[in-house]
């Protein structure tokens, strides 16, 4: 395999797998490849070697995009720190990959993983063609990437981090060091915990798939819990509407499969925390690229 000038390799560093692919300027996907179960515990050099190998096998030529989880110095392509990868600190991702691959460092684009996924969804997925959108990932936490005027808006690097909007001051402790963040109430992990605490569903406490099925079919305790979780999510989105007047929210990640049963709650939460008639024109959409969103977006950013 070898890439042409009109193709870019994109890489997505996830907690359990590193996914990659080669994408044409027209959005056509030419190749994809995963590195399953990388040994992050063997340290950054080992992982960077593996990423370089992955990029080479996909035929990387003169440019590369990579999405990494954590706090970045975007201008320099540095990973400052990553809550999920504790031994990856102050890492020159751009420089290290450029050196390993013989690329000009300016052609290695390093982006936050949620931002990369948002770019992917806006290019080819559920947010396709949207001018303004917030793309959320409902997983272990809640990731967010902001599209404004058709382009990624990253601010100094942390824009779109809606998972850490505080909805319950003094509430549950969060990995970010504060308390009451929306991801402690409405991520997949949080929803599972809430279901377990409530003993729901009765036949399989904490099973989100089953919970969702039951919420869909009957107006019972499962539906009520999904409403509560959705409302907490909406409480985190209300401020987004107030500040940016974004009417399009796109949901990815495993728990987005429950969007239909979360939607009434999300709308109630948004209504509670924003004003004006505009809540009624808010669109809640599903992401469509699944686990490909991150590397497709990373590739797009490398064009």
Chain positions contacting Zn ion, by CB under 5 A? 164, 174, 176, 181
Please identify, using beta-carbon distances, which residue of 65 and 143 lies nearer to Zn ion.
143
Q: Cβ of residue 140: shortest distance to Zn ion, in angstroms?
A: 12
194 CB contacts (<8 Å, ≥6 apart)? 185, 225, 228, 229
Q: Cβ of residue 172: shortest distance to Zn ion, in angstroms?
A: 9
Please identify, using beta-carbon distances, which residue of 64 and 181 lies nearer to Zn ion.
181
Please identify, using beta-carbon distances, which residue of 174 and 282 lies nearer to Zn ion.
174
Q: Cβ of residue 71: shortest distance to Zn ion, in angstroms?
A: 13
Please identify, using beta-carbon distances, which residue of 130 and 183 lies nearer to Zn ion.
183
Q: Cβ of residue 180: shortest distance to Zn ion, in angstroms?
A: 8
Reference 282, options 265, 267, 269; nearest CA is: 267
For the chain, report the end-to-end CA distance as a whole number of angstroms: 19
Please identify, using beta-carbon distances, which residue of 140 and 279 lies nearer to Zn ion.
140
SS3 200: coil
Please identify, using beta-carbon distances, which residue of 131 and 178 lies nearer to Zn ion.
178
How far apart are the C-alpha atoms of 279 and 258, rounded to whole Å? 21
Q: Using CB atoms within 10 A of its CB, is residue 245 exposed (0-12), middle (13-18) or buried (19+)?
A: exposed
How far apart are the C-alpha atoms of 302 and 65, rounded to whole Å? 5
* Residues in a beta bridge with 68: 112
Q: Cβ of residue 276: shortest distance to Zn ion, in angstroms?
A: 28
- Around Cβ 222, how many Cβ atoms within 10 Å? 23
Q: Cβ of residue 144: shortest distance to Zn ion, in angstroms?
A: 12
How far apart are the C-alpha atoms of 49 and 55, rounded to whole Å? 10
């Amino acid at each position: 395999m070898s890439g042409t000038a009109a193709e870019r390799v994109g890489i997505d560093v996830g907690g359990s797998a590193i996914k990659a692919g080669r994408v044409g300027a027209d959005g056509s996907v030419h190749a994809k490849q995963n590195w399953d179960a990388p040994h992050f515990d063997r340290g950054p050099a080992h992982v960077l070697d593996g990423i370089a190998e992955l990029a080479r096998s996909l035929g990387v030529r003169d440019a590369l995009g990579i999405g990494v989880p954590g706090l970045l110095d975007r201008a320099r392509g540095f990973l400052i720190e990553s809550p999920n990868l504790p031994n990856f600190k102050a890492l020159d991702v751009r420089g290290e990959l450029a050196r390993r691959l013989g690329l000009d460092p300016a052609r290695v684009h390093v982006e936050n993983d949620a931002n990369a996924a948002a770019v992917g969804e806006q290019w080819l997925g559920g947010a396709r063609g949207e001018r303004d959108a917030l793309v959320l990932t409902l997983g272990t936490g809640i990731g967010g990437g902001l599209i404004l005027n058709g382009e990624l808006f990253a601010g100094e690097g942390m824009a779109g981090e809606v998972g850490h909007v505080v909805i319950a001051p003094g509430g549950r402790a969060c990995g970010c060091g504060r308390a009451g963040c929306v991801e402690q109430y409405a991520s997949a992990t949080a929803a599972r915990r809430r279901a377990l605490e409530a003993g729901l569903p009765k036949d399989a406490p904490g099973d989100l798939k089953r919970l969702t099925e039951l919420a869909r079919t009957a107006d019972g305790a499962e539906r009520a819990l999904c409403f509560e979780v959705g409302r907490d999510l909406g409480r985190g989105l209300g401020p987004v509407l107030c500040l940016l007047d974004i009417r399009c929210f796109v949901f990815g990640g495993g728990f987005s499969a429950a969007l239909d049963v979360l939607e009434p709650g999300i709308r109630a939460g948004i209504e509670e925390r924003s004003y004006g008639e505009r809540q009624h024109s808010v669109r809640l959409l599903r992401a469509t690229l699944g686990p490909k969103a991150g590397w497709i977006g990373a590739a797009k950013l490398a064009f």
